[in-house]
Amino acid sequence: MSVIIPADATDAFSHLFMVGLASILEDADAERVCAFRWKDTLQAFELKTNDGLGIDQMAEAVHAHAKRWSQSLPLTSENDYTVVDKDAKPSQTLHATMSPRLSNLGVPFGWEKLQKDRESAVDAMQTAGDYRYFGALGQPSYWSGKKNKDDLQSDNGASRWEMVTRNQGKEFVRDRLLPLSQIVAARSVDEVRDGLLGLRIEDETGKNEATSRTATGLHAPSKTDNARAWCALLGVSAFPTRISTDGSHASASGSGVFRDSSAALFQLKGQIRFAILPLFDQYWTTAKYRSIVRSSALAEFGIQHARAIDTQSRLASASIDWLDEKGVLACCLFNQFMSNNPSAPERWLEPGEIIPVRQME
């Protein structure tokens, strides 16, 4: 049995929705294996499990997952991490313990208290999927700073897929992930199912407004169903974050990547920002998907196209051969929009360009 779910391959949100849904289903049963693929029209994906789940059972698993997370310590933990003089009145500036980027992070800051709370939250995690997700999401960096400057660059340890605009002190876990989990948990299973299938679009967190930010940068502001959004934001678990002590690194193609990078989402020097995601018509498991999106071949394919580097190079040919061997028919390149607000820039991935793999030879 397989389930066909409407989606759009030129929408990055749909890609993360697909792998996020599969990840949630596998997390519900350690023996379960999901397989999924894009349909020929690229307007739907097909998903099946080795234990033959139907859409109603899938909806039950998503509902249970959101309910468990809504009550979990990783989502509910918060504390005041501001260090103040012992005689001063506490600031009571609360931060979500597991948010990878913390708003208004200044000095002095209670890094030891934050680390202790994070360790407690990690100890409270229950599944491999929990660990994989928060590992991919990253954490505030206490180790990064600009060269020849003293100011701390705390965002350097966070996933680039986390794109909450930090105006008015907004943070990802407290202000997006936790409310979304609570709303999906409060739905009936039938309502979750209808949302997954695209039969209804209920955007409770975004007040059903056309300019809703529920998708959190995975596409432009728009009304987005919350059950789908829950799965899409969990799709970040497939994209590990590269952690280093260097503010930038050079890829094999010679194109410097600004700051630490997350799998499949890059910022090159010269303010070129993009995501590159694979398209395939054969069934892939989540394990295979994770291996492809973190590969150097996919990164080089995207970087060379974004930078218009000579695609006849030996490196390009090697990357194309590897992707072709793994069953990647095409890649979708998503440019990242960034607003000109200097204090709290808003980011989202624009509709993608489909690039056949063999076209680059």
Query: Please, what is the Cα angle at 285 between 284 and 289, to 5 degrees?
Result: 75
Nearest Cα residue to 172 out of 97, 93, 71 = 97
| pLDDT band with cut points at 50, 70 and 90 for residue 268 | confident
Lowest mean pLDDT among 145-154, 175-184, 288-297: 145-154
Tokens 């502001």 locate to 221
What residue segments make up the domains of the chain, in order of their start?
A: 248-360
Q: What does the pLDDT read at residue 148?
A: 54
Q: What is the pLDDT at residue 104? A: 66
Give the whole-number percent of the chain exceeding pLDDT 70.
86
CB 14 within 8 A of CB 7: yes
Cα–Cα distance between 71 and 66 in angstroms, integer? 9
| Global confidence as pTM | 0.91
> Count of CB atoms within 10 A of residue 232's CB?
28
Give the integer Cα–Cα distance in Å for 301 and 303: 6
User: For 179-214, what is each residue's pLDDT tens digit?
Assistant: 999 999 999 999 999 999 999 999 999 999 999 999
H or E element that contains 340: none
pLDDT for 107 equals: 55
342 pLDDT band (50/70/90 cuts)?
confident
Mean pLDDT within 20-34:
97
Q: Which residue has the higher pLDDT, 87 or 169?
A: 169
> How many CB atoms are located within 10 Å of the residue 163 CB?
22
- Residues ≥6 apart with Cβ < 8 Å to 357: 301, 320, 323, 324, 328, 329, 330, 331
In this structure, the number of other CB atoms found within 10 A of the CB of residue 12 comes to 28
Is the pLDDT score of 26 beyond 70? yes
User: Region 161-190: what's the mean pLDDT?
Assistant: 93
Rounded CA separation 175/187 (Å): 19
